[in-house]
Amino acid sequence: MKSLYVILAAITSALASCEKLPESGVEIYLLTDYQKKSPGAEIFSGSEKLSENPIISYNEIILYDSADHYFQIAESKAEELSRMKWSTQGTAFSLTINKQIIYSGYFMPGYSSLALNWISMDPLAFDAKIRVTLGYPVDWPWFQGPDPRNDPRIISYLRKDNKLKQ
């Protein structure tokens, strides 16, 4: 019986000492590696390798408008993004919740003349609003695949912190 108490005490102690990983929230990471379908720009789910730090952290997201599909971000972050050099071919990103990838796409700067048939965001947003489109430069009516912009996990997470505009 004494050994049972020792085992229970050890298990309880081990469980109590486990640290819960902090939640990072909805964040956007640049990708260091990924695979895409050819022809086209679709990024294969599961092939993405996230950069070490998010390019847009949860604290920098003020709100998400689920009807017009845009993120309102902090002015300081919008200014930082506007000073960066962006590839006219697209810079791959993933939107995550607690570092779990929800969807991937490309940052396409407004000065790019390339048409794109995949999820995109213009990092040079006006009024610190980064619109998520199904294609570039605008939503493509013939976009292939499901629309991930209002994934229930995103909506639920943002709603709990009052960062959702419907």
Provide the residue ranges of all domains of the chain, joining segments of one domain with +. Answer: 23-165
pLDDT class of 1 with cuts at 50, 70, 90 = low
Q: Please identify which residue in the block is written with the tokens 């895409």.
A: 36
- For residue 21, what is the DSSP state? P
Structure confidence by residue, pLDDT tens digits, 19-74: 444 578 999 999 999 999 988 899 999 999 999 999 999 999 999 999 999 999 99
Q: Is the pLDDT of residue 16 over 50?
A: no
For the segment 136-142, the average pLDDT, to the nearest whole number, is 88
- For residue 103, what is the DSSP state? E
CA distances for 72 relative to 7, 38, 95, 127, angstroms: 52, 32, 15, 8
Residues of the chain with pLDDT > 70, as a percent, come to 87
Structure confidence by residue, pLDDT tens digits, 100-110: 999 999 999 99
3-class secondary-structure state, position 81: helix
Q: Please identify which residue in the block is written with the tokens 């997470």.
A: 157
Side-chain half-sphere of 21: how many Cα atoms within 13 Å? 5
Q: What is the pLDDT of residue 22?
A: 59
* Cis amide bond preceding 137, omega within 30: yes
DSSP 38-51: SSS-PBPTT--EE-
d(CA 160, CA 155): 9
3-class secondary-structure state, position 114: coil
Q: What is the pLDDT of residue 145?
A: 79
Q: What is the pLDDT of residue 30?
A: 98
Which residues, 6+ apart, have CB-to-CB distance to 131 below 8 Å? 68, 69, 70, 121, 122, 125
For the segment 135-153, the average pLDDT, to the nearest whole number, is 90
Q: Model-level pTM?
A: 0.84
